[in-house]
């Protein structure tokens, strides 16, 4: 099964968005020297950026196809295996 890199980025971005939203809006604890809501906001923004980057990678890179043709050609010198491979963009 083929899985695009975009789906991995989108999944990781969604996880970061959830964790960031929890830290930003639901956690009221504080740590010395660290602002938990600020860390949550950073994770939220990075997660949104990764989700968008994954979506773009999925839309742009999802149209690429690789075609392979294999065959055997018989001639005077015996048989010869022919492999033709093309990378092309789907229309």
Question: For 29-72, how does the pLDDT look when each residue is reduced to its tens digit (9 = 90+)?
Answer: 878 888 899 999 999 999 999 999 999 888 887 555 667 777 77
Residue 4's pLDDT is: 65
Sorted by sequence, the CB contacts under 8 Å of residue 81 that are 6+ apart come out as 70, 71, 72, 73
What tokens does 87 get? 């990378």
Evaluate whether 12 touches 21 at the Cβ level (below 8 Å).
Answer: no
pLDDT band at 89 (very low <50, low <70, confident <90, very high): low
Predicted model pTM: 0.64
């Amino acid at each position: 099964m083929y899985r695009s890199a975009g789906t991995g980025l989108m999944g990781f971005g969604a996880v970061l968005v959830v964790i960031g939203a929890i830290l930003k809006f639901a956690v009221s604890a504080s740590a010395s020297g660290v602002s938990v809501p600020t860390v949550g906001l950073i994770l939220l923004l990075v997660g949104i950026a990764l989700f968008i980057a994954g979506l773009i990678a999925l839309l742009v890179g999802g149209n690429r196809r690789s075609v392979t043709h294999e065959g055997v050609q018989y001639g005077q010198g015996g048989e010869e295996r022919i492999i033709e491979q093309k990378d092309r963009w789907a229309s």
